[in-house]
Structure 1
Amino acid sequence: MSNKPIIVFEGIEGSGKSHHISVVSKYLKKKRINHIKIREPGGNSNSEKIRKLILNNKSNFNKNTDLLLYMAARSENIDVIKKSFNKKIILIDRFTDSTIAYQYYGMGVDLNLIETLNKSLLKNIKVGFTFLNIVNQKNLQKRLKQRKALNRYDKFKMSFYNKVQNGFIKLSKKQKNKYQLINSNLEIDKNEKLILKKIDKLIK
């Protein structure tokens, strides 16, 4: 693996992934290590416009439209990723496995379609390592209630989030050496230390 890998933070809503990617980014800045941090959907200005459309509470897309909008947002980010690939550490809040977990395991979109689109967009770009944040139903509900505003993806039934999280776990088992599960039900500072310790090993 390159010492300037793509490191992805995955997990369902309320799992702490966005918190941890911010902690890692601050850690790398403190150490003056060159990196970029993006999110999906989102990233560059065009992708952020698509993000607003996807997550808008008034949006009511069918599952295939949702998939294509996510892929459109990824397409807008690919040039950003290509410019930094193997040159800088790339931190991404959600990436290709999120698409499979949400759109295939959660919504039942055709897996071959998802994989074909991902291959077409990514080509030789590969994820180096993934942190998968796992959260139980009690903490998920508690954390969603604490949010000031909920987007469309914060309002699904618990059965949907269970399917998605189980999908993530299945994906992690297929590539154990490139995945680390983070139990987000534990104290947050313990997980921060655990993640930063692994980050140090990944970027040596």
Structure 2
Amino acid sequence: MSRGLLIVLEGGEGAGKGSVLSAIAEWLQAQGIEPLCTRAPGGTPEGQVIRSALVQSGADWEPTAELLLMMADRAQHVGRLIRPALAAGRIVLCDRFVGSTIAYQGGGRGLSSSVILDLQKIAAAEVTADLTILLDVPPAIGLKRSLKRLAEQNSSEDLFERLDLSFHERVRASFLAQAADDPKHWAVVDASRVIAEVIADVQTRLAGLLGKRSAA
């Protein structure tokens, strides 16, 4: 059995990752493929505890503590969920992975990218994304969307939405820099468009990857 594929959706607040991931999962299911859908942080029961502690309104973590909690979630997520699924040949669709850690805790919080990557090696070992799709949206647009969604859901997960616009601009710059540095494994999709256009674009990118895999 061949190794599965890890497909990661990245992006700032309000980029539409959750909606796109759901649509892509349905698209794969229509082709007879049952993907594993997950998110970080919070993809495991233990990770959900970490997520709740991290993002609830009023949380005030030191940047280094925030990073270490993210990596604790990653070690559990990869070890208990992602690595076994890949070993079983499954396609994993993940909402956020190390790209977000580099963008948020690195670009946004100002922590060292080299330290983040060293911790990633410990937490995830050899597990890397086969394709990372960056849903790129200007922060002013994304934050407006995200705050609207949180209000509609009566959600208190507003840790990052409470931060100023300059933080989110740094996050976006980091995402775009990561994509530019590794165009083989990253694809940038304009997420400021209507959701149907974004989904169609992502499907095209995935179809190309799946086609290459079938031909291999």
TM-score between both structures, scaled by the size of structure 1: 0.94
**Deviation at residue 85 of structure 1 after TM alignment:** 1.5
Give SS of 1:144's match. helix
Equivalence for 2:14: 14
Q: Deviations over 1:160-185 (max 9, x none)?
A: 00000000000001101211111111
Equivalence for 1:101: 103
Equivalence for 1:202: 209
**Deviation at residue 110 of structure 1 after TM alignment:** 2.1
1:26 aligns with 2:33: no
Q: 1:186 aligns with which of 186, 189, 193?
A: 193
1:157 aligns with 2:173: no
Equivalence for 2:36: 36
1:177 aligns with 2:177: no
Q: Deviations over 1:147-200 (max 9, x none)?
A: 223521221111000000000000001101211111111122111111112212
Number of residue pairs aligned between Structure 1 and Structure 2? 203
Query: Match of 2:161, as an amino acid?
Result: D
Name the CA distance, whole Å, in 2 between partners of 1:138 and 1:44.
31
1:82 aligns with 2:83: yes
Identify if the C-alpha distance between structure 1 residues 112 and 137 changes in structure 2 by more than 3 Å, giving closer, same or farther. Answer: closer
Query: Match of 1:85, as an amino acid?
Result: L
Q: After TM superposition, what 4+ stretches of structure 1 lie above 4 angstroms from structure 2?
A: none
Name the CA distance, whole Å, in 2 between partners of 1:164 and 1:178.
19
Contact 2:147 2:161 (C-alpha < 8 Å) held by counterparts: no
Name the CA distance, whole Å, in 1 between partners of 2:209 and 2:4.
8
Identify if the C-alpha distance between structure 1 residues 166 and 44 changes in structure 2 by more than 3 Å, giving closer, same or farther. Answer: same
Name the CA distance, whole Å, in 1 between partners of 2:77 and 2:59.
22
Equivalence for 1:49: 49
Give the percent of matched residue pairs that are identical in Structure 1 and Structure 2.
26
Name the CA distance, whole Å, in 2 between partners of 1:37 and 1:141.
24
1:114 aligns with 2:121: no
Equivalence for 2:214: none
Query: Match of 2:190, as an amino acid?
Result: N
Equivalence for 2:94: 92
Equivalence for 1:140: 142
